[in-house]
Structure 1
Amino acid sequence: MTQAQVPALGPCPDIETMRNFNLQKYLGQWYEAERYFALFEFAGKCVAANYTDAGDGRISIVNRQMSYLTGIRSMIEGEVRMTGRTEESKLSVKFPSLPVLVDAPYWVLGTDYENYSVVWSCSNFGLFSTRNAWILTRSRHPTLEIMEKAYSVVDKHGISRAYFIRTDHKNCPNTWH
């Protein structure tokens, strides 16, 4: 989950992140329920991310997906770090194996830690910005009630639902090698 892919005229909007964020409670497995279009996830299904405490204040992330065109499984490892105050949910993600070493914004706008998380990323490029959003869930197949809670966070922050694409989780591998 690195570069945002939905272009917009003007700078990134001023979006407030979640208060009293607890990174330790956020750790563990998350499944991507919906996302904005992102080139790096093109034809991706079964998208999941696992966050673990790597020690020394470092959080590691492993993103996995499978191509619905070829069936090939892929994974990428990265590092998550806090960029704001400790109680803020402003994080950044870096994937050292990518050709461009960029710290991508990863802002948690809302989560209950047990069911859903709404993540926002925006980068400024002069007269325009690129934006991305994800709805992550602890379950591969979240209930409508859980999705409604995530949508309420999306709506509260004025984020357009028009760009969301549902992630396919049919026939996903139970284990990854």
Structure 2
Amino acid sequence: MAGNALKMLVVVAGVVVVAGGHTLHLGRKCPEIMPFPNLSVNKVLGNWFVLHKFDTANTCLKWNLTRVSGDTLLVTETRQLSFLDSLGVDHTHAITARLDIPNPEVPGKMRIRWPTSLTGSADFIVFDTDYETYMAVFECDRAGLLHRRSATILSRTRNIDKMFVERVRRLLDTAGISHSALSTISHDLCRESGNHNWHVDGDLFGLLPGVDPAEVRRRVSEGVQEYDVTQLEIIGEGISPEDGTFRGSLKKRPEV
């Protein structure tokens, strides 16, 4: 596969990753979930296998958390993109995000900035862990009249006891957060390195010539806020009555 075409496929796959791994909901208010009390940040550093995550088909997800300063961490997520796997591309893909701890007295409540995010920083809340076996994280970001949610269950090994998964589900239930989109991540056919290895640690749209990332974010995260909600029309299925998930899309009604 030609180099430029392959690079474009990586960009496309990266955009798909932005849309995946989350559920979309109407309203800017994120649900509240209690951060793990008195989280010892140093004890959650290191390697984790991502075994369950909202709505994703990618495989071999792993996180590596490192500390760069007192209140700043980095999380590097490696994965195999299902889109490229389906094309038979021998690859690995990594992305590094910055984690900030705004309030050192509540270290479990952080803010994360993924390079592929169009909506800026998101809440990143470690809400359960025993440090040595598993960890659970809830993420939420806002864009206009919508917000996106994601929950992640991680393990220090490739397997996790079912009781920990059930515990996390109960905590999500208590917070009123539906976990029906929680997918199982396969680690069966993982490679440490492929013929093609990509690492994104800057804005995704910096890979695309002629695209102004500031303008993209303005349109996505700010433009819709200028609309009168009475002038917005929901296209498609709208809000799911089962879990409150937003399954439609929005457009501004034409002026009459």
In the superposition, the TM-score normalised over structure 1's length comes to: 0.81
Provide, for residues 109-143 of structure 1, a one-character-per-residue CA deviation record: whole Å limited to 9, x for no partner: 11111111111112234543221111111111212
Identity value in percent: 24
With 103-112 and 117-126 compared, the bigger mean Cα shift is at 117-126
2-structure distance, mates of 1:132, 1:94: 14
One-letter amino acid of the structure 1 residue matched with residue 23 of structure 2:
V
Shift of 1:99: 7.4
2-structure distance, mates of 1:99, 1:124: 11
Where does residue 79 of structure 2 map in the other structure?
A: 65
Comparing both structures, which one devotes a greater share of its residues to helix?
2
Where does residue 182 of structure 2 map in the other structure?
A: 164
Where does residue 148 of structure 1 map in the other structure?
A: 166
Provide, for residues 14-60 of structure 1, a one-character-per-residue CA deviation record: whole Å limited to 9, x for no partner: 222221011111101111111112xxxx5410000101123465322
Where does residue 81 of structure 1 map in the other structure?
A: 100
One-letter amino acid of the structure 2 residue matched with residue 92 of structure 1:
R
Where does residue 50 of structure 2 map in the other structure?
A: 32
Q: Secondary structure at the match of 1:73?
A: strand
Where does residue 137 of structure 2 map in the other structure?
A: 119
Where does residue 45 of structure 1 map in the other structure?
A: 59
Q: Secondary structure at the match of 2:84?
A: coil
Where does residue 8 of structure 1 map in the other structure?
A: 25
2-structure distance, mates of 1:85, 1:56: 9
Shift of 1:2: 7.3
| Residue 17 to residue 58, structure 1, CA distance change in 2 (3 Å) | closer
Q: Which has the larger radius of gyration?
A: 2
Task: Structure 1: give runs of 5+ residues left out of the alignment.
Answer: none
Q: Secondary structure at the match of 1:151?
A: helix
Where does residue 93 of structure 1 map in the other structure?
A: 112
In the superposition, the TM-score normalised over structure 2's length comes to: 0.59
2-structure distance, mates of 1:111, 1:47: 18
Q: Secondary structure at the match of 1:161?
A: coil
Shift of 1:69: 4.4
Counting matched residue pairs gives: 171
Q: Tell me if the contact between 2:108 and 2:127 (Cα under 8 Å) persists in the aligned partners.
A: yes
Q: Secondary structure at the match of 2:77?
A: strand
Q: Tell me if the contact between 2:79 and 2:94 (Cα under 8 Å) persists in the aligned partners.
A: yes
2-structure distance, mates of 1:166, 1:99: 23
1-structure distance, mates of 2:33, 2:168: 16
Where does residue 40 of structure 2 map in the other structure?
A: 22
Where does residue 202 of structure 2 map in the other structure?
A: none
One-letter amino acid of the structure 2 residue matched with residue 138 of structure 1:
R
Comparing both structures, which one devotes a greater share of its residues to strand?
1
Q: Secondary structure at the match of 1:70?
A: helix
